[in-house]
A = this chain, B = another copy of it.
Amino acid sequence: MTLFGPDEPTTGPSEPGGRVRVRLTVAYDGTGFHGFAAQPGQTTVGGTLAEAIEKVVGHAVSLTCAGRTDSGVHAWGQVVHADLAPARGRLDLEALVRSCNAMLAPAIVVREAAVAPVGFDARRSAVSRRYRYSVLNSPTPDPFLATTAWHVEDPLDLRAMEQASDPLLGEHDFSTFCRRHPDGGSLVRRVFDASWTRGDGGLGEEEVLRFEIEAGAFCHQMVRSLVGTMVDIGRGRKRAGDMAAIIRATDRAAASQPAPAHGLCLWEVVY
């Protein structure tokens, strides 16, 4: 099994080579996984999903995902592609979904499977990614949000956090909020949307503060680091009016500690 190996030539439904590129929409509870990307000796979402698909199709499978989520991060709308060989000339995607979910649910659920358009690449064809971060702001924790929301006891000033999210829009060097690229790559990213809203919680009646951000792409730990900084603004430890200067600093010392992984969810990938 090769995961994330060297790129293979793209194969579409009418391509020679006998394989069909399939696009999967995948939700997962990241709690028990060391992130998406397969790593030797670790239980990962990508490794676990590829193994299940291999059992169904009977050949080695390489997965490409739209966003490589970190350890403990969830997804509702992760998109993955794989090139699959039809069995006896037929690729039964309904049966593939059913078999994968029988093996993997509830931790990993394949929500949809479809033949991809010619030239589709889950990572390169993506126009933008949308992440959602959930903060439970209440004096006591909530058993039903324990794995999906960061519990913050201090009362947060939502208006200050809303105000702090405005300067994120547009193209910026996000070095303040990201780990350096090992190969020195650019940390300039374009943010299309960034906003805080008050939403419903899970089973309980708790209100949850939700941060949604959509960008062409994200640097490593960017959303968690932004949320950590904005929650400090909500606590009154930093000022909303300083957010533009914090971005311009391009220095990680200007940001707060990243928010914990379990509040983060890859919500949607736009193509």
Interface positions of A (Cβ within 8 A of B): 27-29, 74, 76, 97, 101, 105-111, 132, 134, 140-144, 146, 148, 200, 202-205, 265
Contact = CB atoms under 8 A, between A and B. Distances in A.
Contacts of A109: 140-143
Chain copies in the assembled complex? 2
Given A74-B203, A134-B203, A203-B265, A140 B97 contact: yes
Contacts of A107: 143
A146 B144 CA distance: 11
B108 A140 contact: no
B141 A101 contact: yes
Given A29-B143, A140-B111, A148 B106 contact: no
Contacts of A27: 142-144, 204
A33 B97 CA distance: 32
Contacts of A205: 76
User: Which of A97, A108, A109 has its CB near the most chain B CB atoms (within 10 A)?
Assistant: A109
Nearest to A202: B202
B142 A106 contact: yes
A110 B140 contact: yes
A201 to B, nearest CB: 8
A108 B146 CA distance: 11
